[in-house]
Structure 1
């Protein structure tokens, strides 16, 4: 089976390399300066579209640019799989722009080059079944399990609602803490080191990913409001205690 990967950013390169351990993989990037992972063949866009399965590893915000570009090049029966960190938006865009002769599967590998650097065993991948045969869906579910991934099946809306309060809030907190310029300390507790690890992991990802997570997940607005309410409540509690007098009683 010929596998194609569109996009060779941090995640695309990692994903192409992982897939190349099981399949023959071709890859394409609009950026000629992107490095090609070992074991992956770099090709032009038209040749890429000859593959049986095309994984989209482009930015969420570029979906409306990428999909019309590849739509006329796709062969009937091709399976197009997105790997975006949100699911409602890209799956709606795939249904809008891709021809009916093309199959569609939504996935979210909930890991990347940092969390998967020592292997992917036990790491979660979400699958959102859309326009795909049962046979092909089971094939990919079995493959993900075979390489050690923990498959979670859900709808796009179920994914985004949950991800807003897991991935979305993690990236928001990480970027917020980064603005505070936290630094290593010889007095650091395990909790403080965990916070620094959150900053390091989230800020290693492109700024565009952070923006896209907040903009294209329909549930992150509620998450930010809840977070703001929580912070305001804690500050209000502290202010009310302080107004009484000595905090030590």
Structure 2
């Protein structure tokens, strides 16, 4: 089984190296870097499309362009798997753009180079089978379990509803906290240190990921409105108690 990873950005390079522990991996990148795991062979876009499976590690906003670029070159029976942090949008793109003969699997590894730097054993991976044979489904379930991952099977919409109030809110607050220019302190409480950890875990990723999470998850607008309502409610309460402007 040869997996072709499309995209060697920060997450793509990390995920390709983890997959290479268990199977043969090649990769295509428009901007190849010099620090890629030596086990991963760099190939052309055409060669990547000829793999048994193509793992898309691209920005959510790039999904439509990338899928349309490779759709006509994917051979029948190939499995195309996304790794996006939202699921409804990329799955709909794959369903509408890929031939019926191509298998589709939605995944979301719930970790990255920072949260997985000490190992991924026991970490969750969302698994959304869309159009997949019994044999391929069994293979990838077994592969991810061999990697030590905890598979969480969800529909794309259930994923997005949950992720809006887990990953979506975490990245939103991380960017807000970063904008406050918070710094380590000799009198930092454990809670404050955890806030700095949120900044580190979310803001090392490209800002495009944050923007895409908010734009392409249909449930993040509701999350932001709920967050704003709660902030306004407590600001009003403080105004009533202190008499100071909210």
TM class by shorter chain equals over 0.9
Question: Whole-Å Cα distance in 2 between the matches of residues 208 and 232 of structure 1?
Answer: 28
Q: Which residues in structure 2 correspond to 1:14-93 (within 5 Å)? A: 14-33=14-33, 35-93=35-93
Instruction: Give per-residue Cα distances to partners, 1:11-49, cap 9 Å, x unaligned.
Output: 000010001111110000011446432210001011111
> What 5-or-longer segments of structure 1 have no aligned partner?
245-249
2:210 maps to: 210
What secondary structure does 2:243 align onto? helix
2:185 maps to: 185
Q: RMSD over aligned Cα, in angstroms?
A: 1.1
Answering whether residue 147 of structure 2 is matched by residue 147 of structure 1, we say yes
Instruction: Give per-residue Cα distances to partners, 1:186-208, cap 9 Å, x unaligned.
Output: 00000000000001110000100
Question: Whole-Å Cα distance in 2 between the matches of residues 35 and 27 of structure 1?
Answer: 13
2:5 maps to: 5
TM-score of the superposed pair, with normalisation by structure 2? 0.97
What secondary structure does 1:94 align onto? helix
What secondary structure does 1:107 align onto? strand
The number of aligned residues is: 244
What is the CA distance between 1:135 and its match in structure 2?
A: 2.1
Question: Whole-Å Cα distance in 1 between the matches of residues 33 and 7 of structure 2?
Answer: 12
Question: Whole-Å Cα distance in 1 between the matches of residues 99 and 8 of structure 2?
Answer: 25
What is the CA distance between 1:184 and its match in structure 2?
A: 0.6
What secondary structure does 2:128 align onto? strand
1:197 maps to: 197
Identify if the C-alpha distance between structure 1 residues 35 and 98 changes in structure 2 by more than 3 Å, giving closer, same or farther: farther
Asked if the contact 1:8–1:34 (Cα under 8 Å) also holds between the matched residues in 2, the reply is no
What secondary structure does 1:55 align onto? strand
Question: Whole-Å Cα distance in 2 between the matches of residues 210 and 85 of structure 1?
Answer: 10
Q: After TM superposition, what 4+ stretches of structure 1 lie above 6 angstroms from structure 2?
A: none
1:247 maps to: none
1:110 maps to: 110
What is the CA distance between 1:133 and its match in structure 2?
A: 1.1
Asked if the contact 1:7–1:56 (Cα under 8 Å) also holds between the matched residues in 2, the reply is yes
Question: Whole-Å Cα distance in 1 between the matches of residues 95 and 34 of structure 2?
Answer: 29
Instruction: Give per-residue Cα distances to partners, 1:163-199, cap 9 Å, x unaligned.
Output: 0000000000000000100011000000000000001
Identify if the C-alpha distance between structure 1 residues 81 and 34 changes in structure 2 by more than 3 Å, giving closer, same or farther: farther
Asked if the contact 1:94–1:104 (Cα under 8 Å) also holds between the matched residues in 2, the reply is yes
Question: Whole-Å Cα distance in 2 between the matches of residues 41 and 35 of structure 1?
Answer: 12
1:227 maps to: 227
Asked if the contact 1:36–1:42 (Cα under 8 Å) also holds between the matched residues in 2, the reply is no
1:127 maps to: 127
2:137 maps to: 137
2:238 maps to: 238
> What 5-or-longer segments of structure 2 have no aligned partner?
none
Asked if the contact 1:127–1:151 (Cα under 8 Å) also holds between the matched residues in 2, the reply is yes
Instruction: Give per-residue Cα distances to partners, 1:62-119, cap 9 Å, x unaligned.
Output: 0111011000110100000000000000000001111111000000000001111111
